[in-house]
Amino acid sequence: MIRAATSEDAKRISQIYNHYVTNSVITFEEIVVSDNDIADRMKTIQNSGLPWLVEELEGRVVGYAYATPWRNRSAYRFTVESAVYVDHLSQGSGTGSRLYAELFAQLLQRGFHSVMGMIALPNPDSIKLHQRLGFTQVGLHKEVGWKANRWIDVGVWQLSLGKC
C-alpha cells in the first residue's frame, strides 16, 4: 500500500535513511538524523504542497519517496528534485519503482513538468531505476562531495513528466 507519510512514520523512515547515512555514500549526510528531524522535514515538504509517500507491506514501512523544490527562483516552480529510499533488506522488490510511479503521477496532477534526480556515483542500482523510469543523464558534478575519505561525483538525471 502506498500512502501519504504521517508523523507516525518518522521513526521508521529515519531507520531506513540512517542505514544509508552510516553505511554508504549515496547521501551526503554524515550524522544520523533524528526521528524529530525527519518529522520536521516531512512537515515542511508536505506543507509546501509536495508529496512525501511511503510504501507499507504487512503493516511495516519498507520505503519512501518525496519531492522538494528544485531551486528557489520562480521560473523553476514547475521542476522538483526527487528522492527514494528503500529498506536495504527490501532492495530489488519493486518498492522504489512503485513509489516513484505514484510520486510522478501526483506531481503531474499538481502541474509539475520536470523531475531532477541527483545520484551519488557510483550507484548502478539507482541509475538502473532512474533509466527504467525514463530519466536521462543530463550532467555530472565532479568531486562535489567528500565522504568516507574520498571525493564523490554526482550525476544529474532528468525526467519530463509529460513523457512518462
Above 60 in pLDDT, residue 4? Answer: yes
Mind listing the pLDDT tens digit for each residue in 12-45?
999 999 999 999 999 999 999 999 999 999 999 9
pLDDT for the residue 83: 97
pLDDT for residue 90: 76
The yes-or-no verdict on residue 127 having pLDDT over 60 is yes
156's grid cell: 544529474
Percent of residues, the chain, with pLDDT higher than 70: 99
pLDDT tens, 53-100?
Answer: 999 999 999 999 999 999 999 999 999 999 999 999 877 788 999 999
Cell numbers given for 50 = 509536495
Is the per-residue pLDDT at 164 higher than 60? Answer: no
pLDDT of residue 139: 98
- Nearest partner of 55 among 86, 27, 83, judged by Cα: 86
Topology classification of domain 2-163: Aminopeptidase (3.40.630)
Q: In sequence order, what DSSP letters do the residues of 14-71 get, joined into one string?
A: HHHHHHHHHH-SSS---SPPPHHHHHHHHHHHHHTT--EEEEEETTEEEEEEEEEES-
Mean pLDDT across the chain, nearest whole number? Answer: 95
- Residue 91 confidence (pLDDT): 76
At 163 the pLDDT is 56
Would you state the pLDDT for residue 79? 97
Quote the pTM value: 0.95
State residue 142's pLDDT score.
Answer: 98
